[in-house]
Amino acid sequence: MEKTLEYETQWGSKEEVFFDINSYQNNGCIYIGLVINEEGYPEPFGDITVNLGGKAPDYCGYIDLNNMPELERFIEKNELGEFTGLTQRSGFCEYPLYLFNPEKLRELCPDGMAAYEKNIAKEKLSEKEKCR
């Protein structure tokens, strides 16, 4: 059974969410999504991270305050990560870059983190081979 956290929406409702973690295919950056259990079936609830192109450092991701303005409060309350002080603009929105807590994410979504970390290891190996 997936570990869940309580997510309080901008409208004051509360949802039990679990995590979907993987990598964006085009750049290997971390993808973190939230999923809810809807009548016994997993349904996407929202994406914590956005894919802005380019490569963010390992375990870092830009968070989607445009669609989920309460994300910073959720991340900080649950000790999921911390703001790096950096942002990136895309269109009319500015997205803060967060460094996520790998131990906490491994606890919440062990299979997803294993897949993400396997991808990181492959990228590092590939970079080493290019240097030879």
Mean pLDDT of 75-98: 96
Angstrom distances, CA of residue 114 to CA of 29, 107, 108, 118:
14, 11, 12, 6
In this predicted structure, the answer to whether residue 130 has a pLDDT above a threshold of 90 is no
CB contact at 8 A, 79 and 99: no
Sign of the torsion angle spanned by Cα atoms 102, 108, 56, 65: negative
CB contact at 8 A, 36 and 42: yes
Q: pLDDT-based confidence at 64, cuts 50/70/90?
A: very high
Mean pLDDT of 106-125: 90
pLDDT recorded at residue 126 = 59
pLDDT recorded at residue 7 = 96
Q: Give CA–CA dist 127/20, Å, rounded.
A: 27
Point out which residues pair with 8 in neighbouring strands. Answer: 14
What is the reported pTM? 0.90
**CB under 8 Å to 67, separation ≥6 — which residues?**
46, 47
pLDDT recorded at residue 53 = 79
**CB under 8 Å to 120, separation ≥6 — which residues?**
28, 58
Sign of the torsion angle spanned by Cα atoms 68, 70, 76, 79: negative
